Amino acid sequence: MKFNKHVSSSRRKARKRYFNAPSHIRRRLMSAPLSKELRSKYKVRSMPIRKGDEVHTVRGERKDCNPAKVIRVYRKKICNSHREASVS
């Protein structure tokens, strides 16, 4: 059931808008949910990823690894690079 008549429910159109989105929209698309402590501190559920942020991988083969630090956010390819933080 369609709720908003101004938004297309077509998969093809949604994918086109996602991959052709301008940089300021891609920033919002590349956001991540916050931990419970940060959620209560900032009063938001998710924030855009930035260089220097600490992230936890929750899916994939590295999901149980230590937290990692974001070293690059590449909006053009809609991806980011991170390196495992050294535990001392």
- What are the pLDDT digits (tens) for 41-82? 999 999 999 999 998 888 888 787 788 899 999 888 888 888
- Name the CATH code of domain 11-84 (choices 2.30.30.30, 3.90.400.10, 2.30.40.10, 1.10.10.10): 2.30.30.30
Which residues is 47 bridged to in the sheet? Answer: 32
What per-residue confidence (pLDDT) applies to 24?
Answer: 94
Q: Radius of gyration (Cα) for the chain, nearest Å?
A: 16
Judge contact between 53 and 69, C-beta under 8 A: yes
At 75, phi and psi to the nearest 5? -70, -30
Separation CA 47–CA 29 (nearest Å) = 10
The residues spanned by each domain of the chain are 11-84
